[in-house]
Structure 1
Amino acid sequence: MLPIAPLRHFIQKQNVFNLYRLAIRASRVIPDPIARKETISWIRAEFERNKHITDLDLVEDKLRAGRRELGQVLPYRRTQPHSRS
């Protein structure tokens, strides 16, 4: 019987995908197409470099650091919940 991965694993995996998508979308503000392509390649390489990490606490730390660094390097808007008026 295969071991069952805990729910936390799947949640963190989704959080990693969300951060990746956010980083790619945030790179759209880079006006130079060559610089944008290089940035996207760098983002992908960073995610590839860290894909072997299985310690969920370390994944959480890296996600926090990634969000912080993304906010410092690329201007992006966090989506706000829609207000009902």
Structure 2
Amino acid sequence: MVASRLPPAALTLKQFLRRQQVLQLYRKILQAIRQVPNEADRHYLRDWARAEFKRNQDATEEDTIRMMITQGNMQLQELERTLKLAKS
């Protein structure tokens, strides 16, 4: 889900900021996945997250990227809620 495949020097400020937002979401998702207690589930979720980001890395439409970021944040929140419930 990277905004552009151009080298960083060729990115506009808006593209750079969007790229940073996507990378931050990716890191947060991987951090949340590390909290999953079952190793097999952790491995599955990590592979799923990587595949989703890789599948969408060539997206260039601003509205599409914004929508994917919103969906990613909602999925992250759901994972965090599930983990919190599992711990209680």
Q: Would the TM-score normalized by the shorter structure come out above 0.5?
A: yes
RMSD: 1.3
Q: Give the structure-2-normalised TM-score.
A: 0.75
Question: Mind listing any 5+ residue stretches in structure 2 that lack a counterpart?
Answer: 1-9, 82-88
Q: Which runs of 5+ in 1 are unaligned?
A: 77-85
8 A contact 1:9–1:56 mirrored in 2: no
What amino acid is aligned across from residue 36 of structure 1 in structure 2? R
Q: CA deviation at 1:29?
A: 1.8
Q: Which residue of 2 aligns with 1:68?
A: 74
More helix by share: 2
Shift of 1:60: 1.2
User: 1:36 is matched with which residue?
Assistant: 42
Deviation per residue, 1:50-81 (Å, 9 max, x gap): 00101122111110111012111x117xxxxx
On the 8 A contact 1:12/1:56 being kept in 2, the answer is no
Question: Partners in 1 of 2:54 and 2:15 — Cα distance?
Answer: 18
Shift of 1:5: 3.2
Question: Larger radius of gyration, structure 1 or 2?
Answer: 1
Separation in 2, partners of 1:44, 1:35: 14
d(CA) in 2 for partners of 1:17 and 1:57? 18
Deviating beyond 6 angstroms after TM superposition, the runs of 4 or more aligned structure 1 residues are none
